[in-house]
Amino acid sequence: MSTKHQLLIYLKEGKDTWVSGEYLAHRMAISRTAIWKHIRNLKEDGYIIESSPKKGYLLRQSSDLLLVNEIQEGLTTIIFGKVDIAYFRETDSTNLRAKLLASDGAPEGTVVVAESQTRGRGRRGRSWFSPSGEGIYTSIILRPSISPNEAPKLTLMASVAVAETLLSMTSLKNINIKWPNDILINGRKIAGILTEISMEMDRIDYIVVGVGINVNTPYKSLPLDIQDIATSVLMETGKPFPRIALLRAYLEWLEIYYDTFKTRGFEPIMNRWKSLADIVGHRVSVDMIDRVRVGEVIDIDKDGFLILKEDAGSIERIISGDVTLVNN
């Protein structure tokens, strides 16, 4: 652990009381000037620390940044976020960073986190609104021993983990997973998932699962084109939520479901997914890259594919697409 983070622990131990510089210098066996430098550094990291020549230092408020030490503090996972976290104040895209790390050999469980993205992406090269400090933008590297055909399961797994995170941490109830990769509240998108795969023909090298969650985004900061379709925890509950706690919970839920996937298979996850989704039985239009199909969703099958019964009667098995409810 760095000296800075050791110092932070002593400040946190103080719990809203002053800790003297002399005490800190003694405990850490460094000079009071060194203490002062590290305090300045912590302030730059977003920690609100008061100083008094007589009383010493007081940690008034923890940082609101998604700092690696804060994410890892109390994180109950075994691998996810424990192996390594690459943190960026700003980056182009956490998925892109994760892909570059994975190509260079980064192990399963490596996490990329950014405060903001300049080229945040969704499916089909769409952009994902990623303002600084208001959302969670994170990507994780997985290296499962599965066939490339099974990869869609991991998108559904991640969407269940995001839903569980929101259900367990916030007061939000009306959560609906929209196949294949969006999390909605009252019909508006609160989170999205972008899964990218690197593989040989019959062998997955790695999968990057990227997630964007709108946490403390106020309505007024939404760009015009998504004002009617996006929402956030803040918008739905009326109050901001600490992003760090949500991110930690997401990593924990994701690891739980990934373990489930590896030990018990996809079925329990699919069952939970179905209880969180509301698509089977609905009449929809599915916009795919090369075609559009209209019909009734009769199932999401055991591999996570959407099974559509077209009006003409034929059955289509769809791996991915944009689903819109249509009237009968």
Question: Given candidates 13, 50, 205, 228, which one binds a second copy under the rule CB under 8 A?
Answer: 205
Is position 203 an interface residue for a second copy (rule: CB under 8 A)?
yes
Question: Counting contacts by CB under 8 A, is residue 100 touching a second copy?
Answer: yes
Site of tokens 């998932």:
193
Which window, 3-11, 24-32, 240-248, 288-296, contacts a second copy (CB under 8 A)? 288-296
Place of tokens 């809203």: 16
Which of 56, 81, 180, 212 is the binder for a second copy (CB under 8 A)?
180
Instruction: Determine if 130 is a binding residue for a second copy (CB under 8 A).
Output: no
Among 229, 288, 292, 315, binds a second copy (CB under 8 A): 288
158 binds a second copy (CB under 8 A): no
Total residues in contact with a second copy, by rule CB under 8 A = 30
Chain centre distance of CA 68: 14
Tell me if 61 contacts a second copy by CB under 8 A. no
Shortest CB 196 distance to a second copy, Å: 6
Q: Is the peptide bond before 268 cis (omega within 30 degrees of 0)?
A: no
**Is residue 160 involved in binding a second copy (CB under 8 A)?**
no
* Gap between the terminal Cα atoms of the chain: 61
Range 136-155, binding a second copy (CB under 8 A): 147-148, 151-152, 155
Residues 6+ apart with CB under 8 A from 293: 285, 286, 308, 310, 316, 318
Which tokens is 229 given? 């379709």
The span from the CA of 302 to the CA of 181, in Å, is 16
User: Three-state DSSP class for 96?
Assistant: helix
H helical segments located in 217-266: 233-237, 243-264
Q: Binding to a second copy by residue 96, rule CB under 8 A?
A: yes
- In this complex, which beta carbon is closest to a second copy, that of residue 167 or of residue 307? 307
How far is 154 from 148, CA to CA, in rounded Å? 11
Closest CA to 79 of 111, 55, 125: 111
Beta bridge partners of 323: 286
Q: Which stretch binds a second copy (CB under 8 A): 3-11, 94-102, 131-139, 223-231?
A: 94-102
What's the min distance (Å) between Cβ of 203 and a second copy?
6
Q: Is 194 in the site for a second copy (CB under 8 A)?
A: yes
User: Measured from the CB atom, is 152 or 295 closer to a second copy?
Assistant: 152
- By CB under 8 A, residue 289 contacts a second copy: yes
Token pair listed for 289:
């890259």
Q: Which is nearer to a second copy, 132 or 147 (CB)?
A: 147
**Near a second copy by CB under 8 A, which window of 20-28, 32-40, 190-198, 214-222?**
190-198
Q: Which is nearer to a second copy, 21 or 212 (CB)?
A: 212
Question: Could you say whether residue 123 binds a second copy (CB under 8 A)?
Answer: yes
Q: Which of residues 17-46 bind a second copy (CB under 8 A)?
A: none
- Closest C-alpha among 250, 214, 256 to residue 235: 214
- 320 touches a second copy (CB under 8 A): yes
Q: How far is the CB of 59 from a second copy (least distance, A)?
A: 40
Task: Check if the beta carbon of residue 37 is closer than 8 Å to that of residue 49.
Answer: no
Minimum Å gap between C-beta 114 and a second copy is 16
DSSP for residue 117: B
Query: What is the Cα–Cα distance from 108 to 206, expressed in whole angstroms?
Result: 8
Side-chain half-sphere exposure of 245, counting CA atoms within 13 A: 9
Q: Whose CA is closest to 8, among 72, 76, 81?
A: 72
The residues binding a second copy (CB under 8 A) are: 96, 99-100, 103-104, 123-124, 147-148, 151-152, 155, 180, 194-203, 205, 288-290, 319-321
